Amino acid sequence: MNAITQTSADTRRKRGRGMAASWYGIARTATIDRAGAWAEIDDGGTIKVVTGVTEIGEGILTVLAQVAAEETGARPEDVTIGDNDTARSPEAAHAGATRQTYMIGNSVALASREARKMLFEQIAEHWDTPEDSLRAFNGEIWVEGSNLRMTLSEAVAICKGRGVVPVGAASFTAHGTGLHPVDGKGSPWQTYVFGTQVAEVEVDTWTGEVQVLGIWAAHDVGRCINPRGVEGQIEGGVVQGLGQALMEEHICEGGHPTTHGFAKYILPTALDVPQINCIIVEDEDPTSPLRAKGIGEPALVPTCPAIMNAIYDAIGVRMKSLPATPEKILAALRMPPGGGARITWNNRPAGETLT
């Protein structure tokens, strides 16, 4: 920094801000989506959940543990989630399409409710109290407004002593419809999410290099199950978007790939990361038991355009071909100013100037 005077720094490094909005659908597109799960309230007040899905990094195992715990009265750490295995677990289809929390989460919630109902029936009889007076949370079960209370572990022992294993199975459906082949008419999803991001950048007009210094990412995720997990998805999505915006490119020349390793295929590192400010918006989904939606994919949609709009704000150059590498920025800076879009006014009042 030292060698540059304030004045030359001002002309060399330019800052700007841009924003972009976005939308996305939850679960599989333009089709019916489905997921199954089994749950058992097990000895010791622990929970067994089996469903055909596992973690790809997004945190779904933790989400499912929270959901099963909430629905049964156990604690998340008491939940064991079985392996994802086509011969051992019910179908939950694929790990993608921002469907894990919505599809599998709801299916586990419903299966857990079934299991709880079996347990509650037995405990209600045992305590001679109406079933709807029972509550369970964090490893305990009690009768609302009384001093009848025991651990979930004791409750399971009583239930089993009465000859009942509390189990549940459920399937959750999302009703999308296909698109009409001619006009595309259809209802591709039953739940949508929206997001908006603002980017703040600094462009070095000598080297063409862009640094993203700040991102504000506001995303509707429906009812938020795990805020830290949602932040993790947003932060990861933003940085993938940043990579696509500024540096990543798999190149094929005449069918021959030339980006053979990470020396050629450049990825964002810790040094490229902006400060990411996550704003979690919860517009709860009224049509599903958990009232959650999703965040995996939507987090990355607005990042690229927000950064490109910020670059325009800084240097007046509209980057329309990704990635906006230093070479492309420098080349664009040598072009005449303006975005290059063709803009036509109809019935323009006389004297008005083109932007």
Partner 1 sequence: MSETRITCEVNGRKVARTVATHKRLLDLLRDDLNLTGTKEGCGAGECGTCSVFVDGKLVKSCLVPAARAEGARIETIEGLAGMGPLTPVQKAFHKTGASQCGYCIPGMVMAATNCLRLNPEADIDEIKERMGGNICRCTGYTKILEAVEIARDVIAGRRPEGDLDTDEPLGDSFIGHNVRRIDAPAKVTGRLRYAADMKLVDMLQMQVLRSPHPHARIVSIDTSVAEAMEGVECVITAADVPGKDGFGVFVHDQPIMARGKVRHVGEAVAAVAAEDLLTARRAVAAIKVEYEPLPVIGTPEDAIAPGAPVIHDYAPDNVVKHIPLRKGNPEAGFAEADLIIEDSFSTQSVEHAYLEPEAGVAFVDHDDVVTVHSPSQNITHHRHMLADILGLPINKVRMVMSAVGGGFGGKEDMIYQGMLALAAIRTRRPVQLNFTREESLIASAKRHPSKVSYKMGLKRTGKITAITFDMLSDGGAYGMSSEGVMRKAAILSCGPYEVHNLQVDTRAVYTNNTPSGAFRTFGGMQAQFATESMMDIAAEALGMDPFELRRINMYRKGSITHTQHRLDRASLDMVLDAAETASRWESGAPNVRGAARSDMGGPDTRQPCTLGARIVAEAADLSQGDHPTKASTEAAE
Terminal-to-terminal C-alpha distance of the chain: 36
**Could you say whether residue 283 binds partner 1 (CB under 8 A)?**
yes
Please answer whether residues 238 and 177 qualify as being in contact, where contact means their C-beta atoms are separated by less than 8 angstroms.
no
Residues 105-134 that bind partner 1 (CB under 8 A): none
Q: How many residues bind partner 1 (CB under 8 A)?
A: 168
- From CA 59, how far away is CA 154, in angstroms rounded? 31
DSSP for 235-275, please give it. HHHHHHHHHHHHT----EETTEE---STTTS----GGGPPE
Using the rule CB under 8 A, which residue among 18, 166, 168, 294 binds partner 1? 18
**Alpha-carbon torsion 177, 178, 181, 182, what sign?**
positive
Question: One of 282, 297, 327, 352 is an active-site residue; which one?
Answer: 297
**Could you say whether residue 251 binds partner 1 (CB under 8 A)?**
yes
- Encoded amino acid at 66, one letter: Q
**Could you say whether residue 143 binds partner 1 (CB under 8 A)?**
no
CB nearer partner 1, residue 80 or residue 160: 80
**Could you say whether residue 49 binds partner 1 (CB under 8 A)?**
no
Stretch that binds partner 1, among 69-77, 114-122, 141-149, 150-158 (CB under 8 A): 69-77
- Calculate the alpha carbon distances from 147 to 73, 271, 288, 289 in Å: 17, 57, 34, 30
Residues 81-100 that bind partner 1 (CB under 8 A): 83-87, 91-97
The torsion angles phi and psi of 61, rounded to 5 degrees, stand at -60, -40
Residues 284-323 that bind partner 1 (CB under 8 A): 286, 290, 296-298, 300-302, 304-306, 308-309, 312-316, 318, 320-323
Annotation marks residue 297 as catalytic: yes
Please answer whether residues 49 and 115 qualify as being in contact, where contact means their C-beta atoms are separated by less than 8 angstroms.
no
CB nearer partner 1, residue 63 or residue 158: 63
Please answer whether residues 37 and 50 qualify as being in contact, where contact means their C-beta atoms are separated by less than 8 angstroms.
yes
**Could you say whether residue 47 binds partner 1 (CB under 8 A)?**
no
Q: What long-range pairs does 308-311 form, CB within 8 A, spacing at least 24?
A: 308/18, 308/245, 309/18, 309/19, 309/20, 309/199, 310/16, 310/17, 310/18, 310/199, 310/200, 310/201, 310/212, 311/16, 311/18, 311/201, 311/203, 311/210
CB nearer partner 1, residue 126 or residue 135: 135
The minimum distance between CB 172 and partner 1, in angstroms, equals: 15
**Could you say whether residue 265 binds partner 1 (CB under 8 A)?**
yes
Stretch that binds partner 1, among 14-22, 38-46, 120-128, 143-151 (CB under 8 A): 14-22
The minimum distance between CB 121 and partner 1, in angstroms, equals: 24
Containing 220, the helix (H) or strand (E) segment is strand 210-220
Residues 206-235 that bind partner 1 (CB under 8 A): 207, 209, 211, 213-214, 216-220, 223-229, 231-232, 234-235
Residues 323-352 that bind partner 1 (CB under 8 A): 323, 326, 339-348
Catalytic residue IDs: 297
